[in-house]
Amino acid sequence: MESVLSTYSLPYDEEAPVICFDERPCQLISHIVDPIAPSPGRNARYDYHYKREGTCAVLMSIEPLTGQRIVKVCKQRRKQEYAEFMELVDKFYPKAKKIKLIQDNLNTHSASSFYASKPPEEAFHLMERFEMIFTPKRASWLNMIEIEFAALSKQCLDRRIGSIEELEEEVKIWTEERNKQAVKIHWEFTKEAAREKFERHYKSAQNF
């Protein structure tokens, strides 16, 4: 926890950007009956029946200090998708000497995914580009990307989307607008606040 919070307290450095990453499953749902468009004095109306069209995954990173995010919709979320997404991040930060990557402990979130998906020279390049910093188990709230996923859910995924192509287009529009506005995240939970809030846990750790 303190490693994550210490990283968040670092000043902006284009040679060592701090980004937060995670991925989320997304269910594709289409209408069975076409919705009725809104009219003067009436809201849009939707039939409660729907059809499940399968699932996919949304992968996203955000640099909280600049308000720039990368979002990709994938059919699956395997080692290959993780490695390909990190290639996008690598290219997005050409001036960075080391990218500080905050993420959780999912089994695909490691350098082994690079070697499972890429030739050794490409995998080594990616491994050298990232400094991986993991949130504690059951503490995903420490990852600022959770805030951005909440915004995505409320502003983009709050409707029925029936195909991966439609989802890609909706997410693209949302991402471009958020990046244009450079919507940043102001994190206020510090190491000092953590030591005060979780004092009893610090004391119990001293007994081991």
Instruction: Give 80-132 pLDDT, tens digit per residue.
Output: 999 999 999 999 999 999 999 999 999 999 999 999 999 999 999 999 999 99
* Whole-number pLDDT of residue 184: 96
* Whole-number pLDDT of residue 78: 93
Range of the domain at 126: 2-36+45-205
Residue 29: which CATH number?
Answer: 3.30.420.10
Find the helix or strand (DSSP H, E) in which 52 lies.
Answer: strand 50-63
Amino acid at 22: D
Lowest mean pLDDT among 10-14, 50-54, 121-125: 50-54
Q: How many domains does the chain have?
A: 1
pTM: 0.88
Q: What is the mean pLDDT of residues 2-28?
A: 95
Residue 142 has pLDDT above 80, yes or no: yes
* Whole-number pLDDT of residue 185: 95
Of 113, 56, 58, which Cα lies nearest the Cα of 87? 113
Q: What is the mean pLDDT of the chain?
A: 91
Whole-angstrom CA distances from 102 to 3, 15, 73, 106, 203 are: 10, 16, 20, 12, 26
Q: What is the mean pLDDT of residues 136-149?
A: 93
Pairwise CA distance, residues 203 & 208, whole Å: 10
